[in-house]
Amino acid sequence: MRSLPRIPLFAVGAAAALLLGWLVFPSFLYERIDQPLHFSHALHTSDSVGLSCSDCHGFDDEGRFAGIPVTRVCADCHEEMVTDSEFERRLVEDYVTADREIVWKIYARQPENVYFPHASHVVLAEIDCARCHGDHGASEALRPLERNRLSGYSRDIWGTSVSRFAASDSPRMKMGDCCACHRQSKVTTGCLDCHR
Amino acid sequence: MSTRVSRRDVLKLMSGVAVGTLFTPVPWKLLDDLAIRTQNEGWIAHPRRGKLGFVPTHCSLCPAGCALNLRCVGNVPVSLSAIPTHTMGAGKPCPYGLVLHHFAGHPDRLRGAQVLDAARGGLQAEAQWERQLQRWLKEAMARGGAQSVAVLDPNPGRALSSCYRAFLGSLGGGRYLVPPSQESLLRELSRAAGLPEGTQLAYELSNCRTLLSFSAPVLEGWGTPGRVLPRLRSVESQGASERARLIQASPIPNVSARLADHWYRIRPGSEAAFALGVARVLLDRGWYDSSPASREILTRETELLSLISDTSLDAVSLATGVSQEELERSAWRLSHEGPSLVVQGDPSSGVAADASVSRMVFLLNVLLGATRSQGTLKTKASLPLPHCLRSHGAVAATSLESIPDASLQLLLIDGSRLSSALPMAQIRRKMEPQGRIVALTPYAGKLARACDLVLPTSAPLEGWDEVEAACDLALPRFALARPVFDTKAEYIDPVQLLQRLSPDPKFLSALGPKPSYEKLLRDQSDALYELDEGRVIEPWTEDGKASRASSSSAQWEALLRGAEWYGEGMSWKSMEGPALIGADAAQTLRRSMERARTRALVPARFEQLCVLPLGSGVGSTGEPVPPLLAKLCRESTLLSRAGTIYLNPQTARVMGLRSGQRVQFEGPWGAETARVQLSERVEPSSLVAATSLASGVFGDEVRS
């Protein structure tokens, strides 16, 4: 019997933990949920179609954000097929004609105890949508929602970088990010401005 | 070939894993996610989702009446923000106002009438409350007449207050009582000034440059904080020279004293002596107002002026503990850095309930020209009576302390909103041994536990309420706080209750077969509209322009939308003509000086301490506060804690007491149990008690 060759076991353990922690853990932590329908923001905001964010994600008469567009908004253009796309056919047949709502998976849904007024941020402060939501308008397809198995929150809340060290300019929507932006903009807030 | 894995190898590997894990996102990400998960589990209540809406209204917790914008999901308010353009609140509500929507859901919210069960020491549900109350009223009337029935109204000046007074009139002359407060002090000032009975006064701080305050908590929610605080504290927004200077003469180290420009720590009970010293300097140096009105007053007050001139500054200095130089400096500031105003705190702030203080405060205001046309002390017009009450004879207001002891058989306390503690010890003294106390309150709090019958009223935002003008506003004001919650909670409408209790079948019949607080407020609004002098201001508009409503209905609609009515032109005039401070002022002042001097000369005996009540505001009432603020109230040094007494460590050492110990202390008002807190700021001869324990007992000596 002889002992193991002198393997640096401490280093092996540390390397294994780093590997699991940085690569395996994030993919295990988030479950991927596909969107119910393919949608290309890039196509709709391209010159050929020419829509802007607010054409579909508008504000109501009282300045409140109207949220994810309902099927009726899609039906304004897609009452009937305008292309020969398979995705459009599904939209028209399964949703517009059937008068069903599309259950979109929302990347930016905040917890129940948070109130976020889009009107004061987008209309009054003139903050670009991409500041928090990223460059959605350029996406060719809707990516799957990455839902945290423990908290139930979308990955977009934490941010794409699991460490939150890198890509500091990438959109993220935790309370600390809101506070940092408010500090930067010299806008003071109290707890109850955002929390119910 | 075989290998041997030693324990050391395993430990090395595990150590490596542990250290490596620390450099991965696993620990903090898991910590964060698990924390969120525990916050969102199914058993935790979540705010419902629904259409968001905004409802403008007013906070009715205190006369500041901050204009608020409620954010509602459906008909449930979930948060609120103050309207920054509001003249009174300036968009900065107090911590209680910020959680106004939490009050209705408090666990101690009363869900029905309750009686005090002395045997079990708690409150029990009472289904037959109305019959019992009717019986108590009949018994009280039979035993002691209408004079033995009283209503204690901590918020006079409302339409509901007029209703109470008319109800007592319908009994044949019941007593309408007001507890010690700024309003009762102003009434005392009005009496000291020899003004006709019922004349109300108001402080006007907008043109005041130097404010001398005798213990008034001017920086702690006094008057209308949105008007007072910017005048006294806002150095950033105004030039320092424009800011009014605050001179605080107070035996208690409260927040206002610590933040004042000059704080004179006078001996307890020596307010009148300090005022006398300042008056002496003003008169000796000729630094007083020489207008004919002031001269007229001074020529009448020969006895008082001779007492002032006979009292040396040495004697004043001995009685107050303030040096002659400081007295002279204060007098110089008041006369040379005017316009000046002198105000006093009520007994809950630690000021002696002593008429000589009010008289000296008025004399100082006369000497400083505060009563002149551009002065800082004004007369104030009161709201007209609602139509429905005009045919009923209303009784006049009486201060609680002025009625004889053991003279009340039945007392109804309006505890629907308490902004400062009620002097329960004093109230008990006024009751006959068989007397009954009935309270209207939303909570099973300290007040409820001290009453024989408790009737639930609406919590903020549940029922109708109104905002009256504070002591620092000479203009009559009327604003509504209408129900926002679509609540099914059972609460009693005070107007309906009074109508059912009144022996006069025609009482409030003008409001229709089913009178209500809402109808009374509508009637009040219509009466205001007829005045022709009122203007409606919509606080949320940027220009905040006042305009006259096109009709009474339009005015009511505007009020429902959160507008405010102001009686422009009804008042805003200074007092005119000669006034008389009072023939007995000199004697009262002489006695007060003697007491202060005795206190200064006789060494303090530790078993007999002078009680100084501390604190005002919702937190000191002993009533429940929303859970969000409960922790803040318990831990904050800004708020006096109900059930706590503060002692100097030296006093506590001699008495063998330690911090946190529960003690019983007693005085002429009865015994109280409280927890000891040590503070170097308390004088060795004093005991500082939260107002809910000792309000109205200033100067009583206590044996602990």
Q: Same structural domain for residues B244 and B330?
A: yes
Residue B643 has pLDDT above 80, yes or no: no
Which residues neighbour A166 within 8 Å (Cβ) at sequence distance 6 or greater?
none
Domain count along chain B: 4
Most confident range, picked from A4-13, B237-246, B515-524, B615-624? B515-524
Is residue B575 a part of any domain in this protein? no
- E strand or H helix that includes residue B160: helix B159-171
Output B301 or A103, whichever has higher pLDDT: A103
Is residue B106 a part of any domain in this protein? no
Total CB pairs under 8 A between chain A and B: 120
Say which CATH number the domain at B291 has.
3.40.228.10
Is residue B77 a part of any domain in this protein? no
B window 69-98, beta carbon within 8 A of A = 71, 78-81, 98
Instruction: Note the pLDDT of residue B432.
Output: 92
Is residue B109 a part of any domain in this protein? no
Is residue B99 a part of any domain in this protein? no
Q: Same structural domain for residues B304 and B408?
A: no
Bridge partners, residue B117, by sequence:
B122
Give the tokens for residue B145: 């007449």
Burial of B420 (0-12, 13-18, 19+ CB in 10 A): buried
Bridge partners, residue A65, by sequence:
A59
- E strand or H helix that includes residue A86: helix A86-90
State how far Cα B234 lies from the chain centre: 23
User: Whose structure tokens read 């933040």?
Assistant: B259
Q: Same structural domain for residues B302 and B339?
A: yes
CB contact under 8 A, B98 and A192: yes
Q: Which of A31-40, B17-26, B63-72, B568-577 has the lowest mean pLDDT?
A: B568-577
Residue B413 has pLDDT above 50, yes or no: yes
Most confident range, picked from B47-56, B235-244, B456-465? B456-465
Instruction: Note the pLDDT of residue B703.
Output: 39
Is residue B63 a part of any domain in this protein? no
Residue B270 has pLDDT above 80, yes or no: yes
Domain boundary among B380, B404, B428: B380
Instruction: Note the pLDDT of residue B606.
Output: 45
B5: pLDDT confidence band, cut at 50, 70 and 90? confident
Q: Same structural domain for residues B337 and B397?
A: no
Say which CATH number the domain at B398 has.
3.40.50
Instruction: Note the pLDDT of residue A12.
Output: 93
Instruction: Note the pLDDT of residue B701.
Output: 36
Residue B78's closest CA among B597, B625, B461? B461
CB contact under 8 A, A17 and B1: no
Spatial distance between the Cα atoms of A37 and A141, rounded to a whole number of angstroms: 10
Chain A residues with CB-CB distance to B59 below 8 A? none
- E strand or H helix that includes residue A132: helix A130-133
User: Whose structure tokens read 């002097």?
Assistant: B423
Q: Which of B98-102, B574-578, B593-597, B670-674 has the lowest mean pLDDT?
A: B574-578
**Across residues B296-303, what is the average pLDDT?**
74
**3-state secondary structure (DSSP) of residue B584:** coil
Spatial distance between the Cα atoms of B204 and B182, rounded to a whole number of angstroms: 14
Residue B275's closest CA among B344, B207, B228? B344
Output B411 or B513, whichever has higher pLDDT: B411
- Chain A: give the shortest CA distance to residue B255, in Å: 23
Give the tokens for residue A28: 């295990």
Mean pLDDT of chain B: 79
Contact status of B20 with chain A (Cβ, < 8 Å)? yes
Chain B residues with CB-CB distance to A9 below 8 A? 9, 12-13, 16
B613: pLDDT confidence band, cut at 50, 70 and 90? low
Spatial distance between the Cα atoms of A185 and A175, rounded to a whole number of angstroms: 15
Instruction: Note the pLDDT of residue A35.
Output: 93
Instruction: Note the pLDDT of residue B216.
Output: 85
Convert the pLDDT of each residue in B473-487 to its tens digit: 878 889 999 888 876
Low-confidence ranges of chain A (pLDDT < 70): 1-5, 61-64, 66, 165-169, 192, 196
CB contact under 8 A, B79 and A13: no
Half-sphere exposure of A30 (CA within 13 A, CB side): 22
Chain A residues with CB-CB distance to B55 below 8 A? none
B427-432: long-range contacts, CB 8 A cutoff, minimum separation 24: B427/B152, B427/B400, B428/B669, B428/B670, B429/B405, B429/B669, B430/B400, B430/B403, B430/B404, B430/B405, B430/B406, B431/B406, B432/B144, B432/B148, B432/B406, B432/B407, B432/B408
Is residue B409 a part of any domain in this protein? yes
Residue B18's domain comprises 7-39
Q: Which of A151-160, B388-397, B593-602 has the lowest mean pLDDT?
A: B593-602
Spatial distance between the Cα atoms of B667 and B672, rounded to a whole number of angstroms: 9
CB contact under 8 A, A20 and B6: no
Contact status of B12 with chain A (Cβ, < 8 Å)? yes
Q: Same structural domain for residues B613 and B533?
A: no
B572: pLDDT confidence band, cut at 50, 70 and 90? very low
Is residue B593 a part of any domain in this protein? no
First to last CA, chain A: 68
Convert the pLDDT of each residue in B271-289 to its tens digit: 888 998 999 999 898 888 8
Instruction: Note the pLDDT of residue B697.
Output: 40
Give the tokens for residue A53: 């964010």
Residue B511's closest CA among B502, B146, B174? B502
Residue B608 has pLDDT above 60, yes or no: no
B353: pLDDT confidence band, cut at 50, 70 and 90? low
**Across residues B413-432, what is the average pLDDT?**
81
Interface with B, mutate which of A2, A18, A30, A154 (most B CBs under 10 A): A18
Q: Same structural domain for residues B362 and B480?
A: no
Instruction: Note the pLDDT of residue B654.
Output: 79
Q: What DSSP letter does each residue of B237-300 carry, written as one string?
A: TS-TTTSPEEEEE-SS--HHHHHSSEEE-PPTT-HHHHHHHHHHHHHHHT-S--SHHHHHHHHH
Chain A residues with CB-CB distance to B69 below 8 A? none
Instruction: Note the pLDDT of residue B193.
Output: 66
Q: Same structural domain for residues B396 and B331?
A: no
Q: Same structural domain for residues B254 and B294?
A: yes
Pairing of strands B644-647, B670-678: parallel
Nearest to A9 among B2, B9, B81 (CB): B9
Q: Which of B343-357, B475-489, B616-630 has the lowest mean pLDDT?
A: B616-630
- Between the CA of residue B315 and those of B265, B276, B356, B602, what are the distances in Å? 17, 11, 17, 15
Chain B residues with CB-CB distance to A26 below 8 A? 25
Spatial distance between the Cα atoms of A156 and B388, rounded to a whole number of angstroms: 62
Q: Same structural domain for residues B430 and B511?
A: yes
Spatial distance between the Cα atoms of B67 and B86, rounded to a whole number of angstroms: 6
Nearest to B46 among A3, A4, A112 (CB): A112
Instruction: Note the pLDDT of residue B41.
Output: 77
- Chain B: give the shortest CA distance to residue A47, in Å: 35
Give the tokens for residue B687: 């005991």
Which residues neighbour B680 within 8 Å (Cβ) at sequence distance 6 or greater?
B648, B649
Contact status of B490 with chain A (Cβ, < 8 Å)? no
Chain A residues with CB-CB distance to B34 below 8 A? 150
Chain B residues with CB-CB distance to A158 below 8 A? 29, 32
Instruction: Note the pLDDT of residue B692.
Output: 46
Residue B569 has pLDDT above 90, yes or no: no
Q: Under a CB-based contact definition with an 8 Å cutoff, are residues B612 and B686 in contact?
A: yes
B702: pLDDT confidence band, cut at 50, 70 and 90? very low
**Across residues B75-88, what is the average pLDDT?**
80
Spatial distance between the Cα atoms of B522 and B534, rounded to a whole number of angstroms: 15
pTM across the whole model:
0.73
Say which CATH number the domain at B621 has.
2.40.40.20
Q: Under a CB-based contact definition with an 8 Å cutoff, are residues B205 and B227 in contact?
A: yes
Nearest to B20 among A18, A115, A148 (CB): A18
B583: pLDDT confidence band, cut at 50, 70 and 90? low
Pairing of strands B200-203, B377-380: antiparallel
Q: Same structural domain for residues B613 and B502?
A: no
Contact status of B4 with chain A (Cβ, < 8 Å)? yes
Instruction: Note the pLDDT of residue B693.
Output: 43
Chain B residues with CB-CB distance to A25 below 8 A? 24-26, 29
Q: Under a CB-based contact definition with an 8 Å cutoff, are residues B92 and B102 in contact?
A: no
Pairing of strands B76-82, B465-467: unpaired
Instruction: Note the pLDDT of residue A144.
Output: 93
User: Whose structure tokens read 């009020």?
Assistant: B559
**3-state secondary structure (DSSP) of residue B344:** strand
Q: Under a CB-based contact definition with an 8 Å cutoff, are residues B267 and B599 in contact?
A: yes
- E strand or H helix that includes residue B150: strand B149-152
B638: pLDDT confidence band, cut at 50, 70 and 90? very low
Domain boundary among B361, B380, B399: B380
Output B558 or B115, whichever has higher pLDDT: B558
Instruction: Note the pLDDT of residue A92.
Output: 93
Give the tokens for residue B95: 């911590």
Q: Same structural domain for residues B653 and B608?
A: yes
* Amino acid identity at A67: G
* Amino acid identity at A91: L
Q: Same structural domain for residues B489 and B612?
A: no
Q: What DSSP letter does each residue of B406-473 carry, written as one string?
A: T-EEEEEEE-SS-SS---HHHHHHHEEEEEEEEEEESBSSHHHHTSSEEEE-PPTTTS-EEE---TT-
